Structure 1
């Protein structure tokens, strides 16, 4: 018995649709949130990107490409998979997007887990330490406690105007604080920023 041509075409179309849905479901499981952690890191390049970010928190996108000698499109794809599956996160630092590996805090007692505010401050300090002038300012203040505007200008070897730009940004992020004495302005690390900075310096 022969099926009418119309029914054959409809049946073929239905099969194609079902195949497409099955393929979509498989793709979504493979590239979406249905990934298992061990499966995500089975891919060599993706695993290398994750390990690089884990060992070097705060790296920006182009730096990752240079370290691994990979094309931007390749890194962008794998970074997207890692970020969508909650294995890394990113923060914006001016023109740069910086990446951090998600830390597993589940095994830590509640009192040892950093608050969101402290975690954000730590990330801001890490990204700042990856830029030349902010790094010089922060490390100098970690050693000398207090420094004048002119002293910071001399330390970083940039103009007083440039120091104003950088100190305003660092103040906005809660990393440093300032105090005016007469006509001079003095800077120091905020209490929490000092603890974090000293901890980072000891770790390296």
Structure 2
């Protein structure tokens, strides 16, 4: 069988060689498109366009007969390549996109580089799928001066809740909020001792929390104490005690209040 296949292949190659040699050996003569040389004072001829219906009848008939087959062939090729319009109904049918969406649902407030690092996915691939999810209203995007963060859409989180999740993504800020939740009216030094960071670092985090209206400063002379507004404390408590996607950790204790 192998010998027969080799013989057939050799015969085909010889046939092609003879045909190509014969064609290349032919003599080609190029003639002018004009019946006689163009006079020196003659102008160039402008081609006149011919409409479809002015073509010979057999050409029109052949085109009309072949058109449905060509249309079906394009549709079949389109389907075989798996190309289809993405909509809200099928946007999560794509595996990688569904994983990204699920990860965002379990990690509200995560940013682009966080997604790339934790999911081990290239930034370009992430940007494409995130744009598709956003276009189909599957995710909400919240931006600030530092970065852009992603959340599940459909009214899952209010603006205030988005801000809370943004700060919970930062481990140090999360510990500070945890201390404030368990020990209202603590000072900057209390927070620094409980979390294990410097006073200036506490001030930096507290400034960001104040800007997002998640903490309220109480000034008593030269001492400033902080507390969490009651409405924020209720939601924050649920997230810290039973967070979605945020590791549960013990709140740092404060010396003398344990």
Shorter-chain TM-score tier: 0.7 to 0.9
Residue 186 (structure 1) aligned with residue 225 (structure 2): yes
Paired with 2:117 and 2:203, the residues of 1 have a C-alpha distance of: 31
TM-score (norm 2): 0.59
For the aligned residues, what is the CA RMSD? 2.6
Tell me which structure has the larger Cα radius of gyration. 2
Secondary structure of residue in 1 paired with 2:201: helix
Task: Show structure 2 runs of 5+ residues with no match.
Answer: 1-46, 53-70, 72-83, 244-258
Aligned length: 169
The alpha-carbon deviation at position 104 of structure 1 amounts to 5.7
Paired with 1:54 and 1:73, the residues of 2 have a C-alpha distance of: 21
Paired with 1:5 and 1:59, the residues of 2 have a C-alpha distance of: 63
Query: Which residue of the other structure, out of 102, 106, 110, is the alignment partner of 2:153?
Result: 102
Runs of at least 4 residues of structure 1 off by over 3 A?
none
Query: Which residue of the other structure, out of 93, 107, 118, is the alignment partner of 1:67?
Result: 118
Query: Which residue of the other structure, out of 125, 128, 135, is the alignment partner of 2:164?
Result: 125
Residue 139 (structure 1) aligned with residue 178 (structure 2): yes
**Cα deviation digits, residues 39-71 of structure 1 (max 9, x gap):** 101111111111111121111111212232211
TM-score (norm 1): 0.74
Name whichever structure is richer in strand by fraction.
1
Show the counterpart of 1:12.
none
Task: Show structure 1 runs of 5+ residues with no match.
Answer: 10-18, 20-28, 106-113
**Cα deviation digits, residues 100-132 of structure 1 (max 9, x gap):** 011367xxxxxxxx8xxxx11111111101112
